[in-house]
Amino acid sequence: MDVRGLFESDVPSEGLPWYVAPLPEALENLGLNLAWLIVAVNLVGTAFGFWYYRFQFAFEPTVMWPFVPDSPVATLFIALALASWKLGYRQDWLIALAFFGNIILGGWTVWVHLVFWEEFSYLWEPMRQFLIWSHAAMVMQAFLLHRISNFSARAVGVATLWYGFDTAVDYFVPLVGNLHHTWIPAERGAPSILGADALGAATAGAVLLFVIALYLAMLTRVEKLKVA
């Protein structure tokens, strides 16, 4: 097998600007060529994530369970998005959900681990490093997706509605029970960074990343139309 071929791809590269396509083209090609491996890794991550959330499920109303395991749902989205593309049944709305989810939840997990560094000290250090770097990789893999989707307005709209609703019930308007955000290792009212309390710090990260994901999705659409 010619290993060099892994860094080449039949999927057209449109030469989008770095701010919507920050990965080197060779790395994009490698990711697309190893799509089935990425699917498998994300499915394993999804299974681990549901196991990791098992204690939080016990305290959440069953009807809200789809909005609790945020990172595992995001990795499931990208696994399904890449699998459907490889099987010839590309679903742009699923790709958009994967793009939003991996940027928002991958970035949010890194954010809260940095903000609550001392509070997370109870974790076994290899586990903490695994959680940080695996979620950083979620953000990186999101930037493969512009090569296989047009980021249509309808697809971006679906992702905006899902993650807008998810952010609302996680941090602002719990429909059933209490707020449904991923557990953070501090009391919600405890002082945190920049004068915010712990909940405010976690919320700020989630909202900012939601805005970034939405802006990047729309900007990707604009840049793809320019080169069409």
Q: Helix 153-171 and helix 92-115: axis angle, to 10°?
A: 40
Residue 79 lies in a domain: yes
Burial-class residue 2 by CB neighbours within 10 Å (0-12, 13-18, 19+). exposed
Whole-number pLDDT of residue 199: 96
pTM for this predicted structure: 0.96
Whole-number pLDDT of residue 177: 87
Residue 17 lies in a domain: no
Residue 15 lies in a domain: no
Domain that holds residue 127: 3-9+25-227
Q: In total, how many domains does the chain have?
A: 1
Residue 14 lies in a domain: no
Residue 19 lies in a domain: no
Tens-digit pLDDT profile for residues 92-149: 999 999 999 999 999 999 999 999 999 999 999 999 999 999 999 999 999 999 999 9
